[in-house]
Amino acid sequence: MSTFPAIPPAPLAGLRVLDLTIWMAGSVAAMLLADLGADVVKVESPRGDPAREHVAPTAGGASIPEGTSPSYTACNRNKRSITLDLKDEADRRVMNELVGAADVFVTNLAGPALRRLGMDADALTARNPRLIYARSAGLGTVGPRADDLAQDMTGMAYGGMLFTASPEPGEPFAPPGAMNDVMTGTMLGFGIVTALAQRAQTGIGTVVSGSLLQTSLWSQMLLIGSAASSENASTSGRPRRNPRNALLNQYKAADGKWIAIAAINEAAWQPFLDAAELTHVVEDARFATFSEALIHAHELRILLDAHFVTRTAADWLDRFRAGRVWCGPVNELADVIVDEHIQAEGYLSRLSDGVMTATMPFTLRDHAIPQAAGPALGADTQEVLREWGVSTR
């Protein structure tokens, strides 16, 4: 008789999470908990999370239900939705009962709004001492700008990232795709799991906070170290045509496709030259050593531009991979979606409504992530209230 190993329960099975979030950052944090098996209940106003109407309700051939959007479903998969009007006294009583039954409360509402609704950390942890209260803020929770409104781009702007990310010195550039929101939510999810581990030891909940500003600073830790240690440190981006290191750059190949090369130190210099069939360039005093190549990065970039158009991108990548030189294709998202390696790794998936999205940024060998789309507004209200033992509605 054959026996098979038992499938372990989802890592966060049995965990009850109240999700009072809108837009992206807080929603991503709660979504990660849902991906890991927690029962995440998104509490929405009768009008719903504004992310439901963020873009047109169709994308990539997906059939998006009315009242939602790809942006909404991408940040709210595997959750349930209930509607409560927290300006209404009766609905606030319902919310307070839910708080009493919850393990985790996640929000990204502004501080003044939370205090006005009685949903701030002090109020909720007083009602439920075991509660993990997690808030994704804009600029922080205690500083003089803590109550300022902020979103993805303005958080990066305050943290200096619009200059460090810019290829044009002195000209700010905003990376697309709500990247700071997504990273902030991801880090808050890590904080929540850490707080749960602490609660398992102490039996008492705690308050976890993160902010868009905090994430932008964390993302720039190396640049901040450079800026703080030297008045002359260059921390802004550089145009491809004027690199600090011509071997940490991108080049167009004969077929019009681009490749990225990352030969960042002396040890990578000779392997790069061998793979690129450029060993002869060391006869030029400007490129005799890696150090000289850095000094003459502009001239080397011109040489490499002319050299890389002699072969296709696939040919160059094969050569550099064989030579163990850091390299990769410079893909567009259309390439990413159909990439064989990305598909094999399972880094993208389609939800039940057809929306394609990225999976969690880590993989647990024994856990398959559910693929339920973002919930319809209020679809689970009565079911959740019954299951969570709420009797005041």
Domain co-membership, 213 together with 257: no
**pLDDT (average), residues 369-381:** 95
Domain co-membership, 120 together with 24: yes
Residue 178 neighbours by CB under 8 Å, 6+ apart:
24, 152
What does the alpha-carbon distance between residue 45 and residue 53 come to, in Å, rounded to a whole number? 14
Domain co-membership, 145 together with 264: no
Half-sphere exposure of 165 (CA within 13 A, CB side): 18
pLDDT at site 4: 46
Q: Which comes out higher in pLDDT, residue 234 or 290?
A: 290
Domain co-membership, 188 together with 284: no
Residue 56 domain-assigned (yes or no): yes
Query: Residue 64 pLDDT more than 60?
Result: no
Residue 358 domain-assigned (yes or no): no
Instruction: Count up the domains in the chain and report the number.
Output: 2
pLDDT at site 1: 41
State pTM to two decimals: 0.92
Of the listed ranges 4-13, 56-65, 91-100, 310-319, the one predicted with least confidence: 56-65
Residue 233 domain-assigned (yes or no): no
**CATH number of residue 36's parent domain:** 3.40.50.10540
Domain co-membership, 198 together with 285: no
- Domain end call among 317, 336, 355: 336
**pLDDT (average), residues 288-309:** 98
Residue 20 domain-assigned (yes or no): yes
SS3 of residue 227 by DSSP: helix
What does the alpha-carbon distance between residue 63 and residue 70 come to, in Å, rounded to a whole number? 10
**pLDDT (average), residues 10-34:** 98
- The amino acid that residue 88 corresponds to is D
**pLDDT (average), residues 185-209:** 98
DSSP state of 168: S
Q: What is the DSSP string of 283-333?
A: GSGGGSSHHHHHHTHHHHHHHHHHHHTTS-HHHHHHHHHHTT--EEE---H
What does the alpha-carbon distance between residue 376 and residue 373 come to, in Å, rounded to a whole number? 9
What's the whole-number average pLDDT of the chain? 93
Q: Find the angle CA(250)-CA(253)-CA(258) to the nearest 5 degrees.
A: 40
What does the alpha-carbon distance between residue 326 and residue 271 come to, in Å, rounded to a whole number? 10
What does the alpha-carbon distance between residue 260 and residue 70 come to, in Å, rounded to a whole number? 31
pLDDT at site 238: 81
Q: Tens digit of pLDDT for each residue in 111-170?
A: 999 999 999 999 999 999 999 999 999 999 999 999 999 999 999 999 999 999 998 888
Q: Which comes out higher in pLDDT, residue 71 or 235?
A: 71
Residue 355 domain-assigned (yes or no): no
- Domain end call among 295, 321, 336: 336
Query: Residue 71 pLDDT more than 80?
Result: yes
Half-sphere exposure of 332 (CA within 13 A, CB side): 3
Domain co-membership, 276 together with 139: no
Q: Taking each helix axis from N to C terminus, what angle separates 221-229 and 212-219, rounded to the nearest 10 degrees?
A: 70
Residue 215 domain-assigned (yes or no): yes
Domain co-membership, 206 together with 278: no
pLDDT at site 232: 67
pLDDT at site 236: 74
Domain co-membership, 281 together with 205: no
Picking from 39, 22, 220, the residue whose alpha carbon sits closest to that of residue 135 is 22
Query: Residue 55 pLDDT more than 70?
Result: no
pLDDT at site 67: 76
Query: Residue 179 pLDDT more than 90?
Result: yes
Residue 188 neighbours by CB under 8 Å, 6+ apart:
25, 26, 28, 29, 106, 134, 136, 208, 210
**CATH number of residue 332's parent domain:** 3.30.1540.10
What does the alpha-carbon distance between residue 86 and residue 235 come to, in Å, rounded to a whole number? 45
Query: Residue 265 pLDDT more than 70?
Result: yes
Picking from 341, 307, 316, the residue whose alpha carbon sits closest to that of residue 257 is 316
Domain co-membership, 260 together with 128: no
Query: Residue 56 pLDDT more than 60?
Result: no
Of the listed ranges 102-111, 229-238, 368-377, the one predicted with least confidence: 229-238
Residue 10 domain-assigned (yes or no): no
**pLDDT (average), residues 306-323:** 98
Domain co-membership, 66 together with 158: yes
Q: What are phi and psi of 312, to 5 degrees?
A: -75, 160
Residue 354 domain-assigned (yes or no): no
**pLDDT (average), residues 310-317:** 98
Domain co-membership, 80 together with 141: yes
Q: Which comes out higher in pLDDT, residue 276 or 62?
A: 276
Domain co-membership, 252 together with 182: no
State which residues form the domain around 106.
16-220+364-387
**pLDDT (average), residues 355-366:** 93
The rounded radius of gyration (Å) of the Cα atoms in the chain is: 25
pLDDT at site 6: 60
**pLDDT (average), residues 240-250:** 95
